[in-house]
Amino acid sequence: MLSILIPTYNAICTELVARIHAEATRLDIPFEILVADDGSRSEIDEINRHIATLSNCCYFPATENIGPARLRNRLADQAKYQYILFLDTDVLPVHPTFLADYLQEAIQGGVVCGGFCYQRGKPSAQHALRYYYGIHVEEKTAAERNRHPYAQFISMSFLADRSVFKQVRFDEAMHIGYEDTYFGILLEQKHIPLHHIDNPVYHLSKEPSREYLRKIRNAIDILSRNIEKQRTHVRLLQWYTKLERCGLTGFVARIFQITQSAIEKNLTGEKPSLKLFAFYKLGYLCRIRRNSISE
């Protein structure tokens, strides 16, 4: 019936597994929970190993970091049931009928995305960027996501027929969100049904703003090396293409170089500007593309 797959890295996921395990047990369905580590710190790995003491649960430790895309592909290969539910490690279901709601909407040969949201509250200054970007940009209802279903695919929480992974794989060259975008592109190209429902998880990430910016820069570095794969699907690349056609990428790169420190001061503060964040990503892409061309 259901294989629940959780890739984890430097995060304790015992509460998530306990909740999912409890509901699956109540539903009285055949299930398994597979948790795969990606080279976490030893103290976190030691706590997560207790997951294996629960019935129908397996924990796979790791000695090296292989990246989220490769880890998801490995987990999908190990799943034994028809339906696969992928969950990120830093989430918790909003509703107590989370699994039942997913299974009710399961699509044979297709994919269902439940969406995600953020618990409301005033974040600390060092966590403000991730929080405000989440609630103002990332949170979307099923109706909003279904307007452009493939472009809105997010791997944080989704249910898929196991057969999907015989046709589509996560691109292991991508990282930090852009592998999700490319997975959605492949689903559309293969004409695999994708539907969005309102069955959210809370995204519990409290990532410090400086660390979040570092990850964003790293993701854009990788995206810039795979630009043709997603040029027409990623909004950041759409804006870059417009600037490129107008011959303005060099100008934007120079403006970014002058203002980067000031923008980062705003983005790591208590009231980060999401408009500046959008420019930050575009400016950084223009700069690294200019540098790569000049080399």
Over residues 253-293, the pLDDT tens digits come to 999 999 999 999 999 999 999 999 999 999 999 999 988 76
Ranges under pLDDT 70 in the chain? 175-177, 293-295
CA distance 93 to 200: 7
Contact yes or no for 84/158 (Cβ under 8 A): no
Classify residue 172 by burial, with Cβ atoms within 10 Å: 0-12, 13-18, 19+.
middle
Contact yes or no for 153/194 (Cβ under 8 A): yes
CA distance 11 to 71: 15
State both tokens at 257: 């170089």
Contact yes or no for 281/236 (Cβ under 8 A): yes
DSSP class per residue in 129-195: HHHHHIIIII---HHHHTTSTTTT--TTEEEEEGGGGGT----TT--TTHHHHHHHHHHHHTT--EE
CA distance 149 to 157: 14
Chain-centroid distance of CA 139 in Å reads: 13
Provide the pLDDT for residue 76: 97
pLDDT in tens, 146-187: 999 999 999 999 999 999 999 999 988 776 668 898 999 999
Residue 143 Cα distances to 92, 99, 186, 197, 292, angstroms: 22, 20, 22, 8, 40
Provide the pLDDT for residue 295: 52
Residue-range domain boundaries for the chain = 2-203, 209-294
Smallest CA-to-CA distance from 165 within 59, 69, 29 is with: 69
Q: Which CATH class is domain 2-203?
A: alpha beta
- Give SS3 for 81: coil
Provide the pLDDT for residue 270: 95
Amino acid, single-letter form, for residue 83: Y
Provide the pLDDT for residue 103: 98
DSSP state of 125: G
Provide the pLDDT for residue 37: 95
Residue 233 CB coordination number (10 Å): 17
Provide the pLDDT for residue 293: 65
CA distance 201 to 87: 9
Provide the pLDDT for residue 177: 61
